[in-house]
Amino acid sequence: MNDPSTLRQMPTETEMYAAILGRDTAYDGLFFTAVRTTGIFCRPTCPARKPKPENVEFFPSTGEALFAGYRPCMRCHPMELTGRPPEWLRPLLAQIEQDPTKRVRDRDLVTLGLDPGRVRRWFQSNHKMTFHAFQRARRLGNALEEIRGGRDVTSTAFDHGFDSLSGFNSAFARFTGASPMQTKDRALVHVARFLTPIGPMIAAASEASLHLLEFADRRMLETQLERLTRRTGAVLAPGMNSILEQTQKELNEYFDGFRTEFTVPLEPAATEFQVAAWSALRAIPFGDTKSYADQAAAIDRPTAVRAVARANGDNPIAIIVPCHRVVGSDGKLTGYGGGLRRKRFLLDLELRVAGKDVQLSML
C-alpha cells in the first residue's frame, strides 16, 4: 500500500484501477500506474495488457515512481507530456512546419519510411481529421491569409500545392463555405494543439486575441468551435500565430509554478451575461476559491446562481478564465467541464504555488 499522505492528492485506488481498465483520458497526468511484476510504470491510458490489482502501485508523479525503482514504459512514454507526438512522427511534423505549402502524398510518406495508414490513424486520433485533411486545412488557411493581404488568387493557389485553380476554388469552398474572394474579408482564426501535464488542449486565436482554450477530450469542444465560427464569422485553420505562442508560453509558466496571472488578450464569443460572469471569474485571486453564490453577487445578480453555473459550463477559455476556482457553497468541488480530477489538480497546483496548505474535498 502507498503512504496515505501520498494518496491525499489522488483518487481512491478503486477509482484509479477502474480508470486504467477503461484507459480513461481524463486521468492522464493525474496519477501513474506501477506494476510490481515488471518494474515498469505507465500512464492510465497505456495500451499494454492490464495488470492484476494486487500487482499495482499508484504514484502522483513520475519522479516518485522513479525514486521507488520503477522504469518508464516504452509504449506510453510517461516521462513525456500527455499527447506528445511519437518519435517516428516528429520528422514529418517538422517538415510540415518548415514548409506548410508543400503537399505530402502517400508515396512521400513511404519514402520517409512511414506507413500512410499509421500516420492517418494518429492524425484521426489526435486532430480528428486525416493527415491529408490536416495538410489541406493548413494550406488553405495560409492561402486565405495571403489573399486577405492582397495577393491574387491564381498565384496563391499554385504556390500552396494545388494543381489547378478550379481545384483550389473547390477545396476552398468546402473548407470555408465560400469562394476565396467572398472570404477575403472574414477573420482568420488559427487552431493549435498544446500539451499540458493534464492532457492536450485545443486553442484558437486570431492575430489579436485568444478565442478558445479547451481540453481536447471535452465533449463540448466541437460545440465551442461551432459557436466561435457562427458568432465571429471567422475561418478556422490549423496553425500558429503570435497570440497562440504567447498562450502556450504563459500556460507552460503557469504549470511550472512561475505564473499566477495571464496577460494574453481574450475575446470569447459570448452573451452580455456570460461576459459579466466570466469577468467575475477572472477577479477570483490565484490560490483562492469562491462559491457560485459569491460569483452571482459579484455581478449584482444574487438570485442568478443557476445561470452563473450554466455560464461557467459554457466558458470556452479554460484555466485563463478560471472557472475551476468556483466551488459549492459547502466548499466541495462541483461542475467542471474538464472533469473534477483536473479541477482538483489545478486548485492543488495554485494552493501549493500560493503557499497555502488546504485539503480540498472531492465529494
pLDDT at 7: 34
pLDDT at 363: 38
- Give the pLDDT band (50/70/90) at residue 150: low
The fraction of the chain above a pLDDT of 90, given in percent, is: 29
Do 210 and 155 lie in one domain? The reply is no
pLDDT at 88: 84
Domain span at residue 92 reads 87-183
DSSP 59-115: ESSHHHHHHTTPEEPTTT-TTSPTTPPPGGGHHHHHHHHH-TT----HHHHHHTT--
Q: Does residue 306 carry a pLDDT above 50?
A: yes
Do 207 and 301 lie in one domain? The reply is yes
**323 in catalytic set:** yes
Question: What secondary structure letter does DSSP report for 151?
Answer: -
Q: Does residue 3 carry a pLDDT above 60?
A: no
CATH for 104: 1.10.10.60
The residue with greater pLDDT, 100 or 327, is 327
Do 124 and 244 lie in one domain? The reply is no
CATH for 34: 3.40.10.10
If one counts every other C-beta atom within 10 angstroms of the C-beta of residue 194, the result is: 18
Q: Is 268 a domain residue?
A: yes
The residue with greater pLDDT, 158 or 115, is 115
Do 247 and 173 lie in one domain? The reply is no
pLDDT at 323: 93
Least confident segment among 15-24, 91-100, 161-170, 262-271: 161-170
Q: Is 91 a domain residue?
A: yes
- Give the pLDDT band (50/70/90) at residue 68: confident
Which residues contact residue 113 at a Cβ distance below 8 angstroms, ignoring those fewer than 6 apart? none
Domain boundary among 144, 166, 183: 183
The residue with greater pLDDT, 118 or 142, is 118
pLDDT of 13-62, one tens digit each? 888 999 899 888 778 877 899 999 998 999 888 888 888 999 999 988 78
Three-state DSSP at 231 gives helix
Question: What secondary structure letter does DSSP report for 286?
Answer: T
Q: Is 361 a domain residue?
A: no
Q: Does residue 285 carry a pLDDT above 90?
A: yes
Do 55 and 93 lie in one domain? The reply is no
Domain boundary among 30, 48, 72: 72
d(CA 29, CA 138): 30
Question: What secondary structure letter does DSSP report for 285?
Answer: P
pTM of the model: 0.67
Do 35 and 133 lie in one domain? The reply is no
Do 34 and 101 lie in one domain? The reply is no
Q: Is 340 a domain residue?
A: yes
d(CA 249, CA 29): 19
Q: Is 359 a domain residue?
A: no
d(CA 93, CA 86): 10
pLDDT of 173-204, one tens digit each? 555 555 555 566 677 888 888 888 888 888 99
Do 31 and 92 lie in one domain? The reply is no
CATH for 211: 1.10.10.10
Cell of 14: 478503486
Q: Is 82 a domain residue?
A: no
pLDDT of 76-133, one tens digit each? 888 776 666 777 888 888 888 787 777 888 998 898 888 988 888 888 877 777 888 8
Do 216 and 150 lie in one domain? The reply is no
Q: Is 10 a domain residue?
A: yes
> Please, what is the average pLDDT of the chain?
81
Q: Does residue 265 carry a pLDDT above 90?
A: yes
Dihedral Cα 249, 254, 259, 265, nearest 10 deg? 50
Q: How many structural domains compose the chain? A: 3
pLDDT at 227: 86
Q: Is 78 a domain residue?
A: no
The fraction of the chain above a pLDDT of 70, given in percent, is: 82
Domain boundary among 41, 72, 103: 72
Do 158 and 14 lie in one domain? The reply is no
pLDDT at 4: 33
Helix axes 131-148, 165-176, angle to 10 degrees: 100
Do 174 and 199 lie in one domain? The reply is no
If one counts every other C-beta atom within 10 angstroms of the C-beta of residue 133, the result is: 16
Do 311 and 329 lie in one domain? The reply is yes
Q: Which of 42, 46, 76, 323 is catalytic?
A: 323
Q: Are 192 and 244 in contact (CB under 8 A)?
A: yes
